[in-house]
Each structure stands twice: as structure tokens, then as C-alpha cells.
Amino acid sequence: MSFEDLGLEPSILKAVSEAGYSEPTPIQRAAIPEAIRGRDVLGIAQTGTGKTASFTLPMIQRLSKGRARARMPRSLVLAPTRELAAQVADNFEKYGKYQKLSMALLIGGVSFADQDAKLTRGVDVLIATPGRLLDHFERGRLLLTGIEVMVVDEADRMLDMGFIPDIERIFKLTPITRQTLFFSATMPPEIQRITDQFLHDPARIEVAPPATAAATISQHILRLETKADNVKRAGLRKLLDTEGVKNGIIFCNRKSTVDIVAKSLQKHGYNARPIHGDLAQAFRMETLEKFRSGETKFLVASDVAARGLDIPDVSHVFNFDVPVHAEDYVHRIGRTGRAGRQGTAFMLVTPADGKQYDAILKMLGVKEIDALNIKVDVEPREQRSRADERPRREERGERGRGRRRTRPDREPSSSTREKNAAAPAGDRERPRKNAEPRRRKEESEDVVGLGDHVPAFLLR
Ligand code: ADP
Ligand code: MG
């Protein structure tokens, strides 16, 4: 089946083919015709299955007719994080280049005034994170009564981040006649309840869980005799030196570990950069850009920062830590072996990881994962014990104070933030009071202030 069979207009097909896609993915094949028919869609599919195009393409088709009115967006896409919202905006730009659709983005790190001016002129597509959207709404800057299509992307992640009450509220602010396209990788009871309540007779589209995807991923572990971080870092370097490692994502369980591992790799001459929720938006964007372009070979990441990011063609995934939640293992290794390509996943396993490792084996339904027979030598210099668990001051690239907040390439101080008069005070994707407790503390994406670097397309 080709894109031509889905009922899309020639100008959209042209943009799709110029994007380099020849065949729709299973979710696109199933969702696009239903959405074009005007049906609600409930799409259940893992990261990397092509969900974005499965809602942007039918939306572009529908919105190409008709005109937007001041402060009354015609469609709304809700995404859990700024990066994901920006990716959706990118997709609208790419596939909608032959349509004259207007678009605004309400996310942290993007000027309020610019986006507000766009809203005033009227937008066809409004892309937002839930907290930001409600901020604007509460200020009376927009009406949601003109919404024809509403999309909720990565719903289960919204749940993790405590956004479900916001989503419910937003649903209630939009007209009941809207078309709803709703996507989630999993369907926990809270998500099921929302879809039962707000979707009308949806086409339920479920694509195969990653058991099949994992077939293209060769998985290995490296057993270490101790859980000491310096030994783990030496083990990681061994793995990075394995033949054929082109690039890769290195997952750590904690943001502090992400920082330490990235610094340590840089010190050993590896081209690595950290990405996690405490880093400034501008720094994260720059890191992703560098990784996509190949300038950065290794991305050291936390789960929340990496889930759902559109990072093409990763040959290797490294689990520096065994993930605490077994399902994170699947998300992590799912960053490789995409679209039928071969991928490789490595994991460091220490005696302290027994329980978590067993949970992963159980979830995968296997007795064991291939254990590599590699000896890890720790350089004498590296044999620091307790002190090594924390980064030394010079390792963190700072003079004086030991806080990363003072680093210029990271989040701006609150004074920088206040200086930006156009920015609303509530510049945060705040977890609400009644946020789900499921969210892990270490991973709370406490949102930072305004980055100074904003990609051009966001400002246009
Ligand atoms: P998801 O939202 O399900 O995680 P994305 O929409 O971000 O997935 O797509 C994942 C990757 O696959 C992106 O790099 C995207 O450009 C690519 N992609 C999407 N659809 C196709 C297609 N039909 N053919 C080839 N690549 C595609
Ligand atoms: Mg997505």
C-alpha cells in the first residue's frame, strides 16, 4: 500500500514524497483514512512508529479548506514536552509546505508576545503543552470554541507527568463536535477512562507491540563485579570501543549520573553530550541538533528526556544503569533497530541490579540476555572510591560554587528570566497539585527559564 491509496490530496502527497517517505507505516496506513473520513481515532503504538504523520497529514488536508478567526484556533495539538511540541511543528512545516496554514506554538522557551500576536491574527494549528495552553486561556488570550480537530499525543507520558487533569479540562473547553485523534503507547486505566469519556466511537488502531521490533535488535549485557561508578564507566568505554559503534544513546537512571557520565566521556576523548530535563532548553535543542547532524556521537540521556524524541538511525543503545522500570528497557532499546534496520543494545549489569534485571527478563519472556565475555580493567587513576561517586568540582567545569545553575550554557538564572518582559510568569509545565504520584522524583522535568536560542521556525 502506498500513500496514494490513503485519500490524501496531491499537494500533500508531493510534500510527503519530498520528505523521503515512500510507504506509510502501519499506524499511518490505518489511521489516515479514518481521520480523513472525520472519525475519532485512538492510536496505540510505541515510539518510532510514525504517529506524527498519522495525525498531521489528515489535519493538513482538513484545514486546507476554511479560514482561521482571531483568537479562535481551528485545531489543537497537545504534546507533553516542548521538544515533542517542536517536533510536531516541524512536521506541519514539512508536510504542509504547499498549504498556507498558520501555526502558533505555546511552549516554554518561546516568546509569549510573538505567539500571542499570531493567535490574534488567527491560527489554523495551535501546538501546545497543556500547562502553557491553560496559562494563555486563563489570561483570556484565546478561545477554544472554534476547535475542529484536537490531538492528544503521547497520552501515557502526559499521565506520567501529571497532566491528565489539564487534559480533561481542555477537552471540556472544546466543542463536543470536534474530531479527536488520540495517541498513546500504552493504555493504563486512567487513559482508558479519558478516551471512554471524550472520544466518540473511535477507530481503535493498535500496532504490534515491540516484541516484533526487538527482533531486529541484538541485545547483550556486560556483567560487572561491582556497582562502583568508576568500574561502570570503564565498562561503558569498553562497550563504546566495540567494533562498529557509529553513534549511540547512553541511558542513565538519574540526571546527576547523566552529567557525570557525559563529563567523564568527554574527558576520555569521546564526543558526548548530556540531555535531561534540568538542562536549558537551548542547550537541549543544540544537543539534539548536533546529534542529528552527526557532530555529536553519543547522547547521554535520562528516560524522560529521550522518550519520544525523534532521533533517526541510532546504531547502538547503552544502558549504563539497569532501568528501574522494566518497560523503560523496551523504550530505551527501541531507539535502535527501527524501520527494520539492525540495532544493538548493551547493558551494564552489576550484582546490585539483580531484581531489576530479573524483571526485564520476565517482561521479555526470556531466560537470559547474551552476556559478553569482556574483561574490564580499571585504570589505577580511576580507582577512586567514594569520592568518585560525586563529580569533582573541576569535572563539572566550574569555578567556585558547586551548582550547575551558574553555568552559562545551561539554564538561565531567574533574573534573565525576569528581564524577558514578554514572558509570562507561569513559564513552567508545572506538575499540578493532584499530579499522579507515578512520576519519578529524579526525573521531574522541572522546567527551566527561557533559553536564548530558539529555532527560527518557532519565531516565524
Ligand atoms: P512516533 O511519534 O510514533 O514516535 P514519529 O512520527 O516521530 O514516530 O516518526 C519516527 C521516525 O520515523 C521519524 O524519524 C520519521 O521521520 C520517520 N517516519 C515516519 N513515517 C515514515 C514513513 N512513512 N517512512 C519512513 N520514515 C518515516
Ligand atoms: Mg511522537
Domains 3-206 and 217-383 share a fold: yes
Cβ atoms of 222 and 372 within 8 Å: the answer is: yes
Beta strands in 292-412 (DSSP E): 298-301, 316-319, 343-349, 370-371
Cβ atoms of 102 and 176 within 8 Å: the answer is: no
Helix (H) or strand (E) holding 203: strand 203-206
And the C-alpha cell for 12?
500533500
pLDDT for 209 equals 55
Cβ atoms of 199 and 44 within 8 Å: the answer is: no
Instruction: Decide whether any atom of ligand 1 lies within 6 Å of the 210 Cβ.
Output: no
CA of 93 to the centre of ligand 1 (A): 15
Q: In ligand 1, which atom is closest to the CA atom of 25? A: 23
Instruction: Decide whether any atom of ligand 1 lies within 6 Å of the 310 Cβ.
Output: yes
Nearby residues of 433 by Cβ (< 8 Å), 6 or more positions away: none
User: Is residue 250 exposed (0-12), middle (13-18) or buried (19+ Cβ within 10 Å)?
Assistant: buried
Instruction: Decide whether any atom of ligand 1 lies within 6 Å of the 90 Cβ.
Output: no
Predicted confidence pLDDT, tens digits, the chain (460 residues): 899 999 999 999 999 999 988 889 889 999 999 999 999 999 998 877 899 999 999 999 999 998 899 999 999 999 999 989 999 999 999 999 999 899 999 998 888 889 999 999 999 999 999 999 999 999 999 999 999 999 999 999 899 889 999 999 999 999 999 999 999 988 889 999 999 999 999 999 998 654 444 567 889 999 999 999 999 999 999 999 887 788 899 999 999 999 999 999 999 999 999 998 888 878 888 998 899 888 999 999 998 776 656 665 688 999 999 998 887 888 888 888 766 677 899 999 999 999 999 989 887 878 889 999 888 877 655 444 444 444 444 334 333 333 333 333 333 333 333 333 333 333 333 334 443 333 333 333 332 332 333 333 343 3
pLDDT for 30 equals 95
d(CA 366, CA 161): 31
CA of 25 to the centre of ligand 2 (A): 13
- Domain ranges in the chain are 3-206, 217-383, 431-460
Helix (H, G, I), strand (E, B) or coil at 302: coil
User: Is residue 232 exposed (0-12), middle (13-18) or buried (19+ Cβ within 10 Å)?
Assistant: buried
CA of 100 to the centre of ligand 2 (A): 24
Q: What is the third-level CATH fold of 3-206? A: Rossmann fold (3.40.50)
CA of 47 to the centre of ligand 2 (A): 6
Q: What is the third-level CATH fold of 217-383? A: Rossmann fold (3.40.50)
Instruction: Decide whether any atom of ligand 1 lies within 6 Å of the 51 Cβ.
Output: yes
Q: With b meaning 16 or more CB within 10 Å and e meaning fewer, what string describes 171-182?
A: bebbeeebbbbb
DSSP 3-state percent helix, strand, coil across the chain (nearest 5): 40, 15, 45
Q: In ligand 1, which atom is closest to the CA atom of 28? A: 23
Region class of 406: left (phi > 0), else alpha (psi between -120 and 50), else beta? alpha
